[in-house]
Structure 1
Amino acid sequence: MSLLLLCVVSTILSGDVYDIDTKDPLQAHVLIVETDQIHLCNPQGTFAIPDLPLHTYGLIISHIGYKDETLTVVIQQPDTIKIQVGLSSTPIDVEQVETKAERIVAPGKRTFTKEEMEVIPGAEKDVFRAIQMIPGVSAASDYLGLFYVRGGELYENKVLFDHVEILSPYHYFGIGSAFNVDLIEDFEFHIGTVPVRYGDAVSSVLLVNSRQADTRQNGVVSIDPIEANFFCSKPLTKNLSVALSAKRNYLDVLLRELGIVEGVLLPYFFDLQAKVSIGTKYGNFSLNGLHSKEGTDIQASFAEETVELQMNGVSNTFWLDYDINASEQLSLQTYVFYSNMDRYLHGEVPTGTGSSETATEEYDVQKYGTYLHMEYSPGFVTLTIGGGIGRYELMHTGPRIEDIFYKIGSINYSLEGDTSDYYSFLYATQRFSILDLLNCEVGERIDWLPAIKDPVFSPRIKLVHKKRPNLFFAYGHHYQTPPLEYQVQEYEPLKAKSLNIGVEHLIIPGLLGKIEYYKKEYENLIRGYPTDLFFNDGTGTASGIEFSLRKYRVGRLYGMISYAYSLSKRTSPYDSTVVTSDVHRPHILNAFLGNRLPAGFEVGIKLQVSSGLAYRPVIGREGHDQWMPIYSPTKERLPYYQRIDVHVEKEFSLWGMQGELYVTLLNITNHKNIQGYLYNGDYTLRKAIYQLPRMPLVGIRIKF
């Protein structure tokens, strides 16, 4: 069906897409034929396309299981319109195209949907493992979902769920995510020059978006050797719905019973998350809660000596958000939240003299506050304004747990952090077009960070060429509160100046190529580890070039291939020299290919090859009653890391319910990747700690 709309339209075109029979909203795809841009409606079926120049456009509205709708829109002069599009259902054809894509040009932003996360081999439906396919992102271990971005530290990343910070998003040492994938709609990963809406992070911001209210009851039960998951969503009334998810892992028990690994940090965890959605004529309320609990008791033996570790922790996050669509031009979002995290860790390590040394770390953090986000689009420009205020409280005693287990230096010191302070921030962004050639975004952010005396100002700018291929430029300043468990005379905010230049080209619909050069300069980094004397004056640099080619889930074949070359150096924790960052990998190659086959089969294969991590080998020892290592003045690298994973899944029907049976084979070549080295108490012996061996995983998902 084809319609012609002759409208007095602005540079903003918005609309609602719905089922023409039931009137239920549809999360459809809107394709602009002339520009090949694909826009995804939100779960309420709404889309908005800003900054359209005067022109005639063809739109194709599509959704799997529905007939496509074709519209012609004529833009004659600046204004704003909103269209209504109803789609008629049709039987699903296995040949039908399903498209899911992010906005074509968004410098530094990567987006993955829930469906894409589920089919990446080795990701195991974990958001933190899925983002390791993104150029410039790496992990220190197969066992851990902890991620490092372009040579940055772990604490330089911020994780948000529905725009609310999660203090403990991954369980101890990153063995698993706190988020149930069935409650996730998609995630946005911002690196480089981050939008001014997000602050207090100098490496990256990960935004996880939850599913919106469902109009029909549905649920998922899944189980595999790593964890068991439950999710259920049910509308109670027309304007009230609830969603509940729970998961529990048991990989620690499985691996020990099979004798595959011994003494590896694999704590158990349990997560419970709930969401209540309330729709009103003034807007949509959402009440949310996330509760996580974890713990373990580990004994690892080496050379007749034993390392013991006990861990227990609880974290909670509760928040209320209220979305208000005041008009077609004005939208408001308000948030009120409370988060806390408590953890207790106790370690015992041998000293090499027949005795042992113990240490205990206690960590208690609370953060609460409120903030407002407003977006106004009068037609020729889009204005974004926001701000918030809250309080941050931290209490920390004991050494860092990494010292306890990996025995990096003495553990006879304590980081006595005790901070309680208010924080606040303001930001504003203006987006507009220049001569129908450039999309320009200019923003400024002001932060009053906890424990920092003076406010910090973060200007940021992005320029995108509107014609293909799309050239882009981005530059900005980013600030972050330093880890307050480190004691320094006067805290200074971590600072990063970020530059990004690149080109992005939609080769054909659904196939996106990208080349990006980046450079970052760091100031006020923490150094002084592992003693009780720390300094807040470290510096660093990170630069590199990244290539990626991504085939979205359009048709049967989809996937991604990327290569990143980078250099990253930081002030040594031991002195003032500049050395290679420990978590930096100069070369990272990722490749993933998936294929949707007939009869409900879907297969995927993933390849990862990267440089080994940098480390300082022990070249001697000193001391008497307690031995201390003497490290090499220069760093070496572990051998190259390489791993191939394969994933196969099959859809099926059982007693009127739909389901999926899947098999994943991790490290199919059984390559022995070295994670690091463990020394005995007197540093006379060491052994290699290997990462995951070849390992099959079988799982099942039942949808109801």
Structure 2
Amino acid sequence: MIRSFSLSFAVFFLISVVALGQEKVTLNGYVRDVSNGEELIGVTVYIPKMSAGTVTNPYGFYSLTLPKGTYEIQFSYVGYAVQTVTVDLQGDVERNVDMLSETTVMQEVTVTDKRVDENVVSLQMSKNTLDMNRVRKLPALFGEVDIIKNIQMLPGVITAGEGTSSFYVRGGSADQNLILIDEAPIYDPSHLFGLFSVFNADVIKDSELYKGGIPARFGGRLSSILEVRTKDGNNKKLGVTGGIGTMASRIMVEGPLVKDKASFIVSARRSYVDLFLRAANNDNLVHFYDVNAKVNWKGNNNNRFFAAFYSGRDVFNFGNQFGFAWGNRTATFRWNHLFNERLFSNTSIIVSNFDYKLELKDPVQGFKWTSNLEELSVKNDLSYFINTNNDLTFGYHITGRRFSPGRIAPNTEGSMFEEVNLQKMYALDHGIYISNQQRLTDRITLDYGLRLSIFQNLGATDIYEYTDPQDNSRPVRTDTLHYGAWQNIKTYVNLEPRAAARYMLGEGQSVKVSYNRMVQNTHLIAAGTVPVPFNTWNPSSPYLKPQLADQVAAGYFRNFKDNMLEFSAEAYYKSMKDVTDFADNADIFFNQDLSTEFRQGKSYSYGLELLLNKKEGRLTGSVGYTWSKTMRKIPGVNQGQEFPANYDRRNVVNIQAAYDYSARWTFGATFSYSTGRPITLAEGKYQFQSYNPDIVTSRNGYRLPAFHRLDLSATYSPRKNEGRRFKGTWVFAVYNAYNRQNPFTIYTRVTKNKDGDTIGDGYTKEARMIYLFPILPSVTYNIKF
């Protein structure tokens, strides 16, 4: 199959070259930041004479095939001055372009060109690119700029509440988001249970969230793709950036290894709450750290090499009682190769590991629990720039995974536990894709493609057969099937079509539509509303089918006041099949018969997203509104009746604003409002001997109160002393400015008085609300050499 696939492409290329190669020539090159040599992703390359163009790919490369002649080419990118170059194309030409950032522009040149209306003319919809310059001006918890917190402010993105880095996109659950850093997957993006995320803002180059219209090169998740790329390192000069915050500090060093040819970047961040607690002789020690590192080398203009590394970990120790830890580690090696002026290739080798540990320190009940998920991927992505009207992308991905759901072992001689190892599981995931972006007319542009997903559940492992696999009360095994290493257990094959279209209504406005099917073969084994590190992952298997989602979306896009204001309205409908849940009262942890707890059913979601964005001027910001509904119906769950998903919030309003008051002061504010999320509560109780259990009649039958919060910040940049090599800035922030007690969850307990003493006979119960954060001021000092 792969051989015939390659042959088809070879024939296609031959036809394309013969048909187009004689009359046209090619302009290509890289677009970079002039100050540090960083390649810029998504730069618009536009030819006014032909009303056509392209954008730089994820590696900063562009290619245009044009008839011979002289052209003016406009290069435009958010946060940079528009640059126009004139090129006389009588043959193939390589033209690398260095762009000036807004800061450099204000100091050195006057900008007169109008920026291209990218929001309207681009084909992509349901995609958000974070402007890191603006993100840094907004309030941040404890002074730590966090892209996850900013993503949670976007239309179509729902948060479960404070204290979590999880987010839910267009009706999908948190595990249905693929989170990538330099192409490597991150399975838990949180530090300190969501107070911070794994992404250090100092090292981030670019971040994009795809909510719909997902390109064919992505697969493996149902709802969204968050793609984060780190900086390559300044290849011009050595630089140091750092910050001292209320709870954590960080430092980043970057510079050339060989000027203009090779560079490096290293960043590290650590919290120090544990240091204060240790100084106060407190045994409850909590901390996190993460490290990013990257090197790149330009062999020549046709070959570039990159190696990136990430490691992060959280550690909690509560005296002599218990402790736990979790972390992500990734490594990525990339090779960019330019075969010719039109054919660009990226080959990546990616390693990722997510693990956690839990330990109970007790002479009798002591145990240590460890689990991890490892994967190795090889990817080859190619871009073939046929002409100004057709950009072809295609590739092949293969990923091997090893799931180690748990090993429990006694940690003392007198422990009541015996060593138990849950079976390891193995899988191979193949993805073959092709897509083409085609400009039919000045008004109509299409993007269409197909992805083939082939998933193999492999040995070595044992598969149990049951009298009734859906009977989790008393599972009865009838047989055990033994599979050797690499022996195929179950194969799932799915096609994932993708399509999108844009129609220009006139200058400054357009309509767009998209459709995509997504397939997910890894399943989060979670018992609660908010994912925690101690949830495990399982592959698709004989008892667990792949999850499938079909999404259609339509949107209207319009810009006002010379592109100063961007407005968009998007509506979507998503239907999901074989979504995974668990039977009521399921036994999830350390269950050798976990497959009898699986329940799969249907889910649907639909909604409307409105966004008004202002990107220019002293006052910048956005106003977003989302109305959505997400429902599930799963046999064996909630008595087979339809119920709202845990993250079903009907109305969400998010406002962000940054105001450049002067060259020294910038003020920022964010406000969030959302209706309460569903929650399952007891509706009564009954007594059986000494037991007093709750009666729960329906899943998610109640809702928490509404959530709202205001955050404020002020950034002060002192005038730089010409005799100093560094520049410092102060960031003052207030989280939850009016001290709102936002509900995190509600639980029931035996009724007690304010001193904690039981009231009455000890059988009467009361509901108690938990909220996390009161008003929290913070101060951060940032420094840059």
TM (norm. structure 2) is 0.75
- What are the ranges of 5 or more consecutive residues in structure 2 without an aligned counterpart? 1-21, 409-419, 458-489, 525-536, 588-595, 751-762
Matched residue SS, 1:565: strand
State the distance in 1 between where 2:110 and 2:776 align.
Answer: 34
Q: Is the 8 A contact 2:134 2:658 kept in 1?
A: no
Matched residue SS, 1:575: helix
Q: Structure 1 residues 9, 118: closer, same or farther in 2, change over 3 A?
A: farther
Equivalent residue for 1:376, pick from 381, 384, 399: 384
Per the alignment, residue 629 of structure 1 pairs with 694
Shift of 1:671: 1.3
Per the alignment, residue 161 of structure 1 pairs with 181
Q: Structure 1 residues 518, 256: closer, same or farther in 2, change over 3 A?
A: farther
Equivalent residue for 2:732, pick from 631, 650, 663: 663
The answer on 1:446 being equivalent to 2:446 is no
Structure 1 segment 136-535 matched on structure 2, within 5 A = 136-171=156-191, 173-215=193-235, 216-238=237-259, 239-250=261-272, 267-281=286-300, 282-297=302-317, 310-346=323-359, 362-379=370-387, 380-397=389-406, 416=422, 418-451=424-457, 453-468=491-506, 469-483=509-523, 485=537, 490-507=543-560, 508-529=562-583, 530-532=585-587, 533-535=596-598
Q: Is the 8 A contact 2:649 2:674 kept in 1?
A: yes
State the distance in 2 between where 1:639 and 1:95 align.
Answer: 52
Matched residue SS, 1:688: strand
Q: Is the 8 A contact 1:382 1:430 kept in 2?
A: yes
State the distance in 2 between where 1:649 and 1:100 align.
Answer: 31
Shift of 1:69: 4.9
Equivalent residue for 1:694, pick from 768, 775, 779: 775
Per the alignment, residue 407 of structure 1 pairs with none
- The code of the aligned residue for 2:774 comes to P
Shift of 1:371: 0.9
State the distance in 2 between where 1:243 and 1:173 align.
Answer: 28
Q: Structure 1 residues 73, 549: closer, same or farther in 2, change over 3 A?
A: farther
Q: Structure 1 residues 127, 24: closer, same or farther in 2, change over 3 A?
A: closer
Matched residue SS, 2:74: strand
Q: Is the 8 A contact 2:355 2:371 kept in 1?
A: yes
State the distance in 2 between where 1:120 and 1:315 align.
Answer: 27
Q: Is the 8 A contact 1:540 1:578 kept in 2?
A: no
Matched residue SS, 2:135: helix
Q: Cα deviations across residues 66-107 of structure 1 (Å, max 9, x unaligned)? A: 8x75457899x9x98654657797771799799899664311
- The code of the aligned residue for 1:223 comes to I
Shift of 1:640: 0.9
- The code of the aligned residue for 1:549 comes to L
Matched residue SS, 2:386: coil
- The code of the aligned residue for 1:419 comes to M
Matched residue SS, 1:195: coil
Per the alignment, residue 650 of structure 1 pairs with 716
Q: Is the 8 A contact 1:150 1:584 kept in 2?
A: no
State the distance in 2 between where 1:44 and 1:251 align.
Answer: 39
Q: Structure 1 residues 197, 527: closer, same or farther in 2, change over 3 A?
A: same
Per the alignment, residue 128 of structure 1 pairs with 148
Q: Cα deviations across residues 364-417 of structure 1 (Å, max 9, x unaligned)? A: 111012110000012041111111223111121389xxxxxxxxxxxxxx9956
Q: Is the 8 A contact 1:94 1:598 kept in 2?
A: no
Q: Is the 8 A contact 2:726 2:783 kept in 1?
A: yes
Matched residue SS, 1:525: strand
Matched residue SS, 2:151: helix
Per the alignment, residue 677 of structure 1 pairs with 746
Q: Is the 8 A contact 1:396 1:416 kept in 2?
A: yes
Q: Is the 8 A contact 2:377 2:399 kept in 1?
A: yes
The answer on 1:114 being equivalent to 2:114 is no
State the distance in 2 between where 1:617 and 1:348 align.
Answer: 32
Matched residue SS, 1:618: coil
Per the alignment, residue 566 of structure 1 pairs with 628
Q: Is the 8 A contact 2:344 2:384 kept in 1?
A: yes
Shift of 1:197: 0.8
Shift of 1:142: 1.8
Q: Structure 1 residues 321, 32: closer, same or farther in 2, change over 3 A?
A: closer
Shift of 1:183: 1.1
Shift of 1:251: 5.6
Q: Is the 8 A contact 1:151 1:585 kept in 2?
A: no
Q: Is the 8 A contact 2:38 2:232 kept in 1?
A: no
Matched residue SS, 1:173: helix
- The code of the aligned residue for 2:315 comes to G
- The code of the aligned residue for 1:480 comes to Q
Q: Is the 8 A contact 1:43 1:211 kept in 2?
A: no
Name which one, 1 or 2, has greater alpha-carbon Rg: 2
- What are the ranges of 5 or more consecutive residues in structure 1 without an aligned counterpart? 1-7, 300-306, 350-355, 400-413
Shift of 1:516: 0.3
Q: Cα deviations across residues 293-349 of structure 1 (Å, max 9, x unaligned)? A: 2111359xxxxxxx9763112432112011112222111001001111221135799
Shift of 1:692: 1.7
- The code of the aligned residue for 1:548 comes to L
Q: Structure 1 residues 41, 92: closer, same or farther in 2, change over 3 A?
A: farther
Shift of 1:11: 12
Matched residue SS, 1:144: coil
Shift of 1:624: 5.0
Shift of 1:30: 6.0
State the distance in 1 between where 2:192 and 2:691 align.
Answer: 29
Q: Is the 8 A contact 1:361 1:397 kept in 2?
A: yes
Q: Is the 8 A contact 2:181 2:230 kept in 1?
A: yes
What value does the CA root-mean-square deviation take over the aligned residues? 4.2
Matched residue SS, 2:145: coil
Matched residue SS, 1:449: strand
Q: Cα deviations across residues 630-676 of structure 1 (Å, max 9, x unaligned)? A: 22426111111111111110123363312211111111111111111
Shift of 1:612: 1.0
Q: Cα deviations across residues 244-282 of structure 1 (Å, max 9, x unaligned)? A: 111112468889999xxx99x995211112111111113
Matched residue SS, 1:92: helix
- The code of the aligned residue for 1:118 comes to R
Per the alignment, residue 476 of structure 2 pairs with none
Matched residue SS, 1:483: strand
- The code of the aligned residue for 1:690 comes to Y
State the distance in 2 between where 1:36 and 1:665 align.
Answer: 47
Per the alignment, residue 303 of structure 1 pairs with none
- The code of the aligned residue for 1:458 comes to E
TM (norm. structure 1) is 0.83
State the distance in 1 between where 2:732 and 2:664 align.
Answer: 14
Q: Cα deviations across residues 8-51 of structure 1 (Å, max 9, x unaligned)? A: 9989975556799x996785976869699999878987656799
State the distance in 1 between where 2:23 and 2:559 align.
Answer: 26
Q: Structure 1 residues 599, 428: closer, same or farther in 2, change over 3 A?
A: same
Shift of 1:450: 4.7
Report the number of matched residues.
Answer: 660
Matched residue SS, 1:454: strand
Shift of 1:110: 0.6
Per the alignment, residue 604 of structure 2 pairs with 541
- The code of the aligned residue for 2:384 comes to Y
